[in-house]
Amino acid sequence: MQEKLTSLEEAIAPICDGDVVALQIMATYMAPMALVRELIRQNKKDLGLVVLIGGIAVDWLAKAGVINRLIGAAVTMEQFGLCQQYRKAVEQGRIRVEEISESVLNARLGAGARGLPFLTTRGAIGTDLMKENSDNMKMLDDPFGGMPVMACRALVPDFALIHAHRADRYGNIQYEPGARWPDLAIMPKAAKHVVVTVEEIVDSEVLRRHPERTVLPGFKVDAVVEVPNGAHPTSMYPNYGYDTQFHREWTSVSRDDEKATEFIDKYIRSPASQSEYLELIGSEERLQYLQEWEGKR
Amino acid sequence: MSLDWENSPASTDYSVEELVICVLTEQFNNGEQATNGMGSFIPVAAFMLAKKTHAPDLIWLASSIGLECRPERIPASTLEAPLWRDSIMYLEQYSDFWDLVSNNWITKFCVGAAQLDQYGNANNSVIGSDYHRPKVRLPGTAGLADLCSLNKKLYYWNLNHSPRTLVEKVDFISGAGYLDGGDARERLGLGDGPQLVVTNLAVMDFHPDSKRMRLKSVHPGNTVEEVQQATGFELLIPEEGVPNTKAPTQAQISLIRDVIDPDGMRNK
């Protein structure tokens, strides 16, 4: 079997400027943040980003000039508010938004995963989303005589980036039971290449004890990297919660271009590794606090 | 806590958030399935209150994920695991949730919108006329566009009733209401639609034929004229007059303050 274990640098290096990159993310929930930081460190440019509900990652990528288009259903940091750098970039025309609804995104990625030209939905009919996405959303008569449906064109991202609980060296990916989002269920299957960070690399024998928890076979994965706390500052249920203090630190500077640049330099460009990054955010004590989220917040 | 909520007297000490919660809670009943979206402290409080009073058998699906969850109190986020604690099932979004929604096994959705127009069309996408160079980029439609077109009964809340949020025509339709009014929605094959709009000033519904927004009740302390003035279009005013919105009961208020939301997330 082919080994897929590699470093953050090597995992992200094959992504070319202009590629379409699908990112697992749901506001403050479970995003591959170490991979996001690596995209910024490698100065990737003109990426198209696919998200269900983008959060702080989108704000950082917008600020760092990594993305110039976004295909997704929403961008928000939930209780921490709008992503101000993303918002500014869209309002100034630096990021072009192809806004689609959740069922349309599912249909587009689902078609991509299955090699179909399109899948259909009855969601979003009658909205202005159709007008702004007429290349990818078209009304279609039901060949069986029912009401018309909306055809959603296949979306095949060049890369999907995800973070998971564990994997073996061969890239078999496993999650703890919990709420799962469509970006997990379908994004990696639709994408040409898949890059995964995990909390821990384990022996394949460990995965075999719970095959029902394996969600992606190793042959569909290009690269896997062990990155403990790799979702920080987003949450990784049940391991750790989202980091309220860190989100607030970002939102306290994110309207100010200069201070936002300082933040990105300090937390993203300067640390040479995940452990240096974790030391910056407060190391053991802070991480332990985040691990105790359940029942508290 | 055992409270005689059925015979509880009217409260005279309540906030506008609490009034909105109490109006909404009456819309959700035993045997129905309802869900909330992002940033949803008000709907979550309304569902939790319904389950503790008149609708213990309301089926609440938290944020499209946690079925019949049992959070002790409203947590700091309505889109994170502490909300869907103690669920009986996690709906996997791609397969479970959209299957059940599309076939109308989930019937009611309570949601906010940055702009709503006189026909109940909703905008959470952009403010301004140029979609690609908007004056304000809003979060985006998320699942609203889908739920609006998939035969849901929609209950909107808005704590900032003003001519900027209740507009004659939304800048962008991120969620279909009654479109141009009349039978426009029906002609596209879209069932149900917006039922109620509950704001900090009043409660509105929609005329059964024209589908125009209609004043249903005015919150105590406000007048019909004040509500009309704060609205960016002409509201339909029933000839028989507009009653005051029913005040919350003392039991409802103490449940909200002491049990459901002691941390005051409803005010954030």
Task: Report pTM.
Answer: 0.96
Average pLDDT, chain B: 96
Nearest to A28 among B79, B137, B150 (CB): B79
Which residue type is seen at A97?
V
Average pLDDT, chain A: 95
| pLDDT classification of B126: cutoffs 50, 70, 90 | very high
Homologous superfamily of the A8-100+157-201+217-291 domain (CATH):
Glutaconate Coenzyme A-transferase (3.40.1080.10)
Torsion angle, CA of A112/A118/A122/A128, rounded to 10 degrees? 90
Helix (H), strand (E), coil (C) string for B11-69: CCCCCHHHHHHHHHHCCCCCCCEEEECCCCHHHHHHHHHHHHCCCCCCEEEECCCEECC
CA distance linking residue B116 with residue B202, whole number of Å: 14
- Give the mean model confidence (pLDDT) for residues B226-238: 98
On chain B, the residues whose CB falls within 8 A of the CB of A125 are 149, 176, 188-190
- Chain A: residue whose CA lies nearest to B62: A179
DSSP state of A93: T
Question: So where are chain A's domains?
Answer: 8-100+157-201+217-291, 112-153
Q: Is B109 on the interface with A (CB under 8 A)?
A: no
Nearest-CA distance A133 → chain B (Å)? 11
Cβ contacts of A87 on chain B, cutoff 8 Å: 136-137
- CB–CB of B38 and A76 under 8 A? yes
pLDDT at residue A177, as a whole number = 84
pLDDT of residue A182: 57
Residues in B 60-99 with any Cβ partner in A closer than 8 A = 65-66, 75-82, 84-85, 90, 92-95, 98
Q: CA-CA distance, A200 to A208, in Å (whole number)?
A: 15
pLDDT value, residue B235:
98
Distance CA(A72)–CA(A98), nearest Å, equals 7
Question: A269 is written with which tokens?
Answer: 């460009």
Rounded to a whole number, what is the distance in Å from the CA of A222 to chain B's nearest CA?
A: 23
Interface touch B80/A96, C-beta < 8 Å: no
Instruction: List Cβ neighbours of B80 (8 Å cut-off, separation of 6 or more).
Output: A28, A29, A78, A235, A241, A242, A297
Of B242, B248, B157, nearest to B199 (Cα)?
B157
Per-residue b or e along A216-251, where b marks 16 or more CB atoms closer than 10 Å to that residue's CB: bebebbbbbbbbbbbbbbbbbbebbbbbbebbeebb
Distance from CA of A13 to the nearest CA of B (A): 30
List the domains of chain B with CATH numbers: 5-267 (3.40.1080.10)
Question: Of A179, A191, A236, which is closest to residue A216 (Cα–Cα)?
Answer: A191
The answer to whether the CB of B94 falls within 8 A of the CB of A109 is no
Q: Is the pLDDT of residue B241 over 50?
A: yes
pLDDT single digits (tens) A101-145: 999 999 999 999 999 999 999 999 999 999 999 999 999 999 999
Best mutation target among B65, B127, B149 (most A Cβ atoms within 10 Å) is B149
A63-72, A282-291, B33-42, range with the lowest pLDDT: A282-291
Average pLDDT rounded to a whole number, residues A231-259: 96
pLDDT in tens, A64-103: 999 999 999 999 999 999 999 999 999 999 999 999 999 9
Asked if the C-beta of B132 comes within 8 angstroms of chain A's C-beta atoms, the answer is yes
Chain B: closest CA distance from residue A96 (Å): 7
When pLDDT is averaged across residues A211-240 and rounded to a whole number, the result is 95
Residue, of A1 and A64, whose pLDDT is higher: A64
Report helix angle A56-63 to A257-264, nearest 10.
Answer: 100
**Chain B hits for A293, Cβ within 8 Å:** 81-82
In this prediction, residue B110 has a pLDDT band, given cuts at 50, 70 and 90, of very high
pLDDT for res A183: 67
Cβ B145–A79 below 8 Å, yes or no? no
pLDDT, mean of residues A30-56: 97
What confidence category does residue A295 fall into, taking pLDDT thresholds of 50, 70 and 90?
very low
How many whole angstroms from its chain centre is CA B96?
Answer: 23
CA angle, A70 as apex, A69 and A72 as ends, to 5°?
A: 165
